[in-house]
Amino acid sequence: MGQRWRGGGALFLVPRLETVSNRGFAPQKTNLRLAEKRPNRSQTAGICSGRVQYRARKNKMNIFCSTTIEFKKTMKIAVASEHRGFKAKDRILAEVRQLQHEALDFGPATDDMCDYPDFAAKAAQAVACGEVDRAILIGGTGIGMNIVANKFPGVRAALCHDDLSAQISRSHNDSNVLCLSINLFGAEVAPRIIKIWLETPFEGGRHARRVAKIAKLDEARQNHSPEK
């Protein structure tokens, strides 16, 4: 488990220096400095890698070492539900904050009966315009929320029921909206799915080519008109 250090809008997970003692080094508490550029906000993944330099001692001599670490980007996450997911929404807001991200409550304010398109649209629009990095939507089945979110340009909403679907939706599809079913997931399952979804990076490569084609379809739909 690494130490957590926040700076420059990102959260840096730094390996504990005690690990170097296995090679005969006595770790020293010093300021850590980055040896490479910090992650760019344009990164779609929540995690990227870099190197950090630290000081240790061996035989009473200062030795500078470097190691590869992960930079975990702090993201803004919109969380919204309809009336059936209202109670789960508070738990999910707390879970997102526990994972060191900024969680924003996009409603509803009570568990009175409401229409899911209103709140799904509000959160999806925030993703589409860049107000937030991602969104989590909670519905009875999550299907309606998912349909609404995918009406917004640049939104790639995924309805996930298990660990695998959450992981693949990120690594292959670069999903930026997670839809959950309050009818299907248990109290212990949802936090795990959310953690996987927030921490799984987009793999890029052949998947980037496919996501780019989705973006072109979005663009074509926006440019379409009956006269054309």
Model confidence over 18-33: pLDDT tens digits? 333 333 333 333 333 3
Percent of the chain with pLDDT over 70: 65
pLDDT grade for 44, boundaries at 50, 70 and 90: very low
Q: Which residue has the higher pLDDT, 205 or 188?
A: 205
Asked whether residue 210 is assigned to any structural domain, the reply reads: no
In angstroms, the CA 17 to CA 19 distance is: 5
Q: How far apart are CA 136 and CA 194, in angstroms?
A: 9
The token pair at 70 is 């992960």
Shared domain for 28 and 112, answered yes or no, is: no
Domains in the chain, number:
2
Q: What is the pLDDT at residue 185?
A: 78
Average pLDDT over residues 212-227: 82
Let me know if residue 218 belongs to a domain: no
Does 99 share its domain with 197? yes
Q: Do residues 19 and 116 share a domain?
A: no
CATH code of the domain in which 166 resides: 3.40.1400.10
Cα 157 off chain centre by? 13
Q: Examine the fold and report which residue of 20, 48, 73 is the final residue of a domain before the chain moves on.
A: 73
Kindly state whether residue 208 falls inside one of the protein's structural domains: no
Task: Verify that 63 and 101 share a domain, yes or no.
Answer: no
Q: What is the pLDDT of residue 222?
A: 83
State the Cα–Cα distance between residues 200 and 183, nearest whole angstrom.
Answer: 25
For the segment 205-213, the average pLDDT, to the nearest whole number, is 96
Domain boundary among 39, 73, 107: 73
213 in a structural domain: no
Q: Is the pTM of this model over 0.95?
A: no
Residues 63 and 126 in one domain: no
d(CA 128, CA 218): 12
User: Model confidence at 226, in pLDDT bands (50, 70, 90)?
Assistant: low
pLDDT of 215 over the 80 cut: yes
- Residue whose structure tokens are 């730094």: 14
One domain, residues 120 and 190: yes
Task: Decide if 224 is catalytic.
Answer: no
Q: Do 192 and 88 share a structural domain?
A: yes
Q: Are 151 and 101 in contact (CB under 8 A)?
A: no
Q: Read off φ and ψ for residue 102, nearest 5 degrees.
A: -90, 115
- Given a cut of 50, whether residue 98 has pLDDT beyond it is yes
CA geometry: angle at 164 spanning 10 and 151, to 5°?
Answer: 75
Cα(193)–Cα(165) distance, integer angstroms: 9
Give the model's confidence band at 95: pLDDT under 50 very low, under 70 low, under 90 confident, else very high: very high
Out of 73, 108, 128, pick the residue that ends a domain: 73
Give yes or no for residue 73 having a pLDDT over 50: yes
Same domain, 34 and 87: no
Note whether 84 and 158 are same-domain residues. yes
Segments forming the whole domain that contains residue 46: 2-73
Element (H, E) at 194: helix 189-199
Helix (H) or strand (E) holding 52: strand 47-58
- Residues 125 and 151: their CA atoms lie apart, in Å, by 9
Average pLDDT value over all residues in the chain: 77
> Which of 101, 172, 207, 224 is the catalytic position?
172
The answer to whether residue 65 sits within a structural domain is yes
Sequence-distant contacts of 2-6: CB under 8 A, at least 24 apart = 2/69, 4/100, 5/32, 6/74
- State whether 188 and 85 are in the same domain: yes
- State pLDDT tens for residues 152-184: 999 999 999 999 999 999 999 999 999 999 988
What was the pLDDT predicted at 173?
A: 98
